[in-house]
Structure 1
Amino acid sequence: MLDAALFLTVMGMFLLGLRRPFIWVLAYLYIDILAPQKIGWTLTPMLPISLIAFLLAFAGWAISDPKAETKFTLRQGILCALLVYCFMTLQWADFPEDAARKWEWVWKALVFAIFLPVTLITRLRIEAAALILVLTAGAIIISAGMKTALGGGGYENLYLFVNDNSNIYESSTLATVSIALIPIILWFTRHGTIFRPDWRVKTFAGLLIFSCLLIPIGTEARTGLLCIGVLGVLMLRDVKNRLMYLLAAGALGLMALPFLPASYYERMATLGAVDSDQSASTRMQVWMWTLDYAAENPLGGGFDAYRSNSFTYQMPVTREEGGALVTEIQEVTDSGRAFHSSFFEMLGEQGWPGLILWLSLHALGLVQMEAIRRRWRDRENLAEQWQAPLASALQFSNIIYLVGAAFQGIAYQPVFLMLIGFQIGLSTYCRKRDSARVEAERKALREARRMAASAKPAMP
């Protein structure tokens, strides 16, 4: 039944796209996030639905969308440069076969991020794409949140729709995505037009946000706790009553403590004991190895270059012996450990050029969203009051992603590349509206001058 429902949903979106080709873009967002072809077992795996949706999205734009106003932005240029450079490093990759497997999905994620902004030419399209992203990820989040609430969570034990530890289904990635989506969910409760923000929408949004906050608990992802803390600090900028916000946040945090499992406390306690936690210690060793590797290979070693790492380090271990705590030094040898950081992932795989491109991409996005927020926040026209809050939400999501990315190898994560596409689309949309407004004001001024000149009496 589930397989049939997923298959019919995808086929329905493909058919609707014959009348409204933009729906094919939405179909690709849905398929790339949810991966219904991995959830189903007979019908959905029969066809390469992801590739079909990918091709249809481009075909729909080529056939039906106006091209006159299509603008190619600097950030799209950076994405193109990153795409080309990733292909270049593929040629000298340390592990060609592993690099080729990663390239199979990375190039598609980058190309779609470059393409997505050219389709987001209206408010309805921007909102529809964001809504599909939120609801599709929300399906995974709600399911995982319910299992957490019913006691089915735990580190590497939370069962999701797909149990292959990839894409959004990786526990720490899902925790980061969940918290990063909260600002966008809040935007829909104030400015949504597809579903008007009445009590039903706000109730659903509140429950979805609650599920988002449960994901770091259910996955016991330490990164998720950091992302929650960052989101709490960021939201101080926009709340009207900061004191009430701080009191409410503190009260909710205290109320939640008795319901957290003991395993969650034990795992979060390792945040303050990096030296004695093997996972954290190993990550630091990998990062140090990556710096040395980049010094010898400044242009990068291609995808999955981490497979060549090998190191030995000493770690203090505390154990109980005869009723007393004894600390001894343990020697740990490891090899082939993943980067566990997008910053070091880019440095190791794409070298300094790739890291600079990636950092520039995100830095420019944060600056652009701040510029939109400041330029549009005081507009009185009702049609110009949604842009600044959306820019703020996308900016917060980007910051949360960068915090999560510091401890995960998610530099090419498709969901966040889609959010970059939203940022570029919103920036282009706002720039066009500003240009049209300036041109209209100039035209009105010229017309006023012409009327004044024609009404001036002729000299005798």
Structure 2
Amino acid sequence: MRDIGLAGFLGALLLLGLKRPFLFILGYIYIDIVSPQRLSYFLLNSLPVSLLMFALAILGWLVTDRKDDVRIAPRQLLMALLLVYCGLTTFYLAEFQEEALNKWDWVWKSMIFAMFLPLTLRTKLRIESVLLFMVLSLSAIVIGAGIKTALGGSGYGSFAMMVDDNSGLYEDSTLATVAIAMIPVILYFSRWSTIFPSDWRVKSFCYALIFASLLVPIGTQARTGLVCAAFLALLLWRDTNRKMAYVAAAAFAGIVALPLVPSAFSDRMETIGTYKADESASTRLAVWGWTLEYVGDHPLGGGFDAYRGNRLAVETTTVTGSGSVRNVERRIVADQGRAYHSAYFEMLGEQGYIGLVLWLLIHGIGVLRMEWLRRHYRGDDIPDGEQWVAPLATALQQAHLVYLVGSLFVGIAFQPLILMLIGVEIGFDTYLARRRKEQGWKPLDQMVAEPGTPKLAPLPGQER
């Protein structure tokens, strides 16, 4: 029955895409996030649905979309350079060729789609449609995870949601990071949604989805999720006008929620401060140390999955007893082939210094560009139809920053959903650049308007 539902939904998208080819792009987003082929038992799991929708998305744009005033942003060029470099390390430097090719098989598609996506985002409606599909596709996983957590289910490494495969977005720490990162975008839709007007029904769904997203770190017991949630709280505090009221509300919510948190979650979170007693955390630090030594000998990187060559000896320390009588137990744990557990060390170990610098530039420029937009599209003198810009720039920047913090502890340097988010940022930025050029408008602090100058009306086709 599930196979029929999944196949029927994709079939409907394909049919509608024949009339509106932009829907092929939305279909690819859904497939890349939800992975319906992994949920299917027999109808979809034997078909290359991702590659098919990917090809239709690009073909639809080539045949039907406008190409005038196509803008290529510097970040797209940086992503192209990074993609070429990853290809070179995969085919010429990879120490584990077969594993590297397996990762390359999905990385190149995700990066090309992220570079291609901005070319299609020529209207606000399209920008919002892509973000809406990203949120709703992720909600298919998050809602199930939230329900399972609310019913008492939890456990790190065993929190299966719809699939029995702890990889991709279904991996615990990855899901916890992404779920928290997308909360600012959900908040944006709760107020500024135009596809679904922001009424009480939309607000109720958005707030319920945010609650489910906050439950994900509890259900997965992922420490990264707790760090991301705390960092997001700071970002939201930065942008609120009533800071003391916000702090009081956050403190009250924490006091109310604390008795409801499972003891297993509390026990795992305590290991953040006692990492030497936690084998997972100690091994992670050992892997980071090994990576620094490895890149010293291989400054160009070792290709995808180079971590498989590590050999580790980890010392853990456990203290038992209380008061003046305490026993300290130290033991050495041997391990090998442990993953990086950090996007930064993932880039360093796999792509060397060149890859890490390119990756940091892509993300750093994105954060700075969103900061520029949120600062220059605020105030009472913004032209009509542009009031949504600063809130969306803020939401995208917050989501991006939460990802950058979460990726300190999770190896998600090429996570497809985050690459899509970067693509949306680029498309959003270039769309606004086109509007400024066509309307001759600059932010108020960059021009002196003539008395009586009328505010600019939305462009044709920009009714949303």
Normalised to the residue count of structure 2, the TM-score between the two structures is 0.93
Alignment match, 1:393: 395
CA–CA distance in structure 1, aligned partners of residues 369 and 191 of structure 2:
22
State the 1:173 CA deviation: 0.4
CA–CA distance in structure 1, aligned partners of residues 43 and 311 of structure 2:
44
Alignment match, 2:14: 14
Is the CA contact (8 Å cut-off) linking 1:148 and 1:158 kept in structure 2? no
Larger CA Rg, structure 1 vs 2:
1
Structure-2 change in CA distance of 1:372 and 1:334 (3 Å): same
Alignment match, 2:167: 166
**Structure (1/2) with the larger helix percentage:** 1
Uncovered stretches (5+) of structure 1, i.e. residues with no partner: 449-460
Task: Output aligned runs, 1:213-292, within 5 Å.
Answer: 213-292=214-293
Is the CA contact (8 Å cut-off) linking 2:160 and 2:170 kept in structure 1? no
Alignment match, 1:454: none
Normalised to the residue count of structure 1, the TM-score between the two structures is 0.94
What do residues 263-319 of structure 1 show as CA deviations (whole Å, max 9, x unaligned)?
A: 001100000011221111111111011011111100000000001111224321234
Worse-superposed segment, 362-371 or 333-342: 333-342
CA–CA distance in structure 1, aligned partners of residues 31 and 233 of structure 2:
31
Q: Indicate whether 1:104 and 2:105 are aligned.
A: yes
What do residues 84-136 of structure 1 show as CA deviations (whole Å, max 9, x unaligned)?
A: 00000012201101101111111111111100111111000000000000001
Alignment match, 2:375: 374
State the 1:330 CA deviation: 1.1
Q: Which amino acid letter does the alignment assign opposite residue 416 of structure 1?
A: I
Q: Indicate whether 1:72 and 2:72 are aligned.
A: yes
Alignment match, 2:179: 178
Alignment match, 2:130: 129
SS in 2 for 1:409: coil
Worse-superposed segment, 430-439 or 340-349: 430-439
Q: Which amino acid letter does the alignment assign opposite residue 217 of structure 1?
A: I
Uncovered stretches (5+) of structure 2, i.e. residues with no partner: 454-464
State the 1:324 CA deviation: 5.5
Alignment match, 2:461: none
CA–CA distance in structure 2, aligned partners of residues 77 and 65 of structure 1:
22
What do residues 246-271 of structure 1 show as CA deviations (whole Å, max 9, x unaligned)?
A: 11111111101111111001100000
SS in 1 for 2:240: coil
Q: Which amino acid letter does the alignment assign opposite residue 412 of structure 1?
A: F
How many equivalent pairs are there? 444
CA–CA distance in structure 2, aligned partners of residues 397 and 271 of structure 1:
23
Structure-2 change in CA distance of 1:439 and 1:186 (3 Å): closer
State the 1:438 CA deviation: 1.6
Task: Output aligned runs, 1:183-198, within 5 Å.
Answer: 183-198=184-199
CA–CA distance in structure 2, aligned partners of residues 355 and 261 of structure 1:
38
CA–CA distance in structure 1, aligned partners of residues 382 and 86 of structure 2:
45
SS in 2 for 1:197: coil
Q: Which amino acid letter does the alignment assign opposite residue 307 of structure 1?
A: R
CA–CA distance in structure 2, aligned partners of residues 86 and 24 of structure 1:
27
CA–CA distance in structure 1, aligned partners of residues 114 and 41 of structure 2:
29
CA–CA distance in structure 2, aligned partners of residues 119 and 232 of structure 1:
33
Alignment match, 2:410: 408
Q: Which amino acid letter does the alignment assign opposite residue 434 of structure 1?
A: R
CA–CA distance in structure 1, aligned partners of residues 373 and 157 of structure 2:
40
Q: Which amino acid letter does the alignment assign opposite residue 33 of structure 1?
A: I
SS in 2 for 1:45: coil
CA–CA distance in structure 2, aligned partners of residues 27 and 279 of structure 1:
37
Is the CA contact (8 Å cut-off) linking 1:142 and 1:211 kept in structure 2? yes
State the 1:439 CA deviation: 7.2
Alignment match, 2:119: 118
Is the CA contact (8 Å cut-off) linking 2:30 and 2:137 kept in structure 1? yes
SS in 2 for 1:327: strand
* Percent identity between the two aligned chains: 49
Q: Indicate whether 1:436 and 2:438 are aligned.
A: yes
CA–CA distance in structure 1, aligned partners of residues 208 and 40 of structure 2:
27
Structure-2 change in CA distance of 1:275 and 1:434 (3 Å): same
State the 1:240 CA deviation: 1.9
Task: Output aligned runs, 1:341-380, within 5 Å.
Answer: 341-378=342-379, 379-380=381-382
Is the CA contact (8 Å cut-off) linking 1:372 and 1:430 kept in structure 2? no
Is the CA contact (8 Å cut-off) linking 1:373 and 1:387 kept in structure 2? yes
State the 1:44 CA deviation: 1.9
Alignment match, 1:456: none
Q: What is the Cα-based RMSD across aligned positions, in Å?
A: 1.9
State the 1:203 CA deviation: 0.5
CA–CA distance in structure 2, aligned partners of residues 351 and 223 of structure 1:
25
Alignment match, 2:24: 24
State the 1:380 CA deviation: 3.5
What do residues 55-98 of structure 1 show as CA deviations (whole Å, max 9, x unaligned)?
A: 00000100111111211110000110010000000122011011
SS in 2 for 1:422: helix
Structure-2 change in CA distance of 1:439 and 1:398 (3 Å): closer
State the 1:205 CA deviation: 0.5
Worse-superposed segment, 409-418 or 272-281: 272-281
SS in 2 for 1:434: helix
Is the CA contact (8 Å cut-off) linking 2:282 and 2:315 kept in structure 1? no
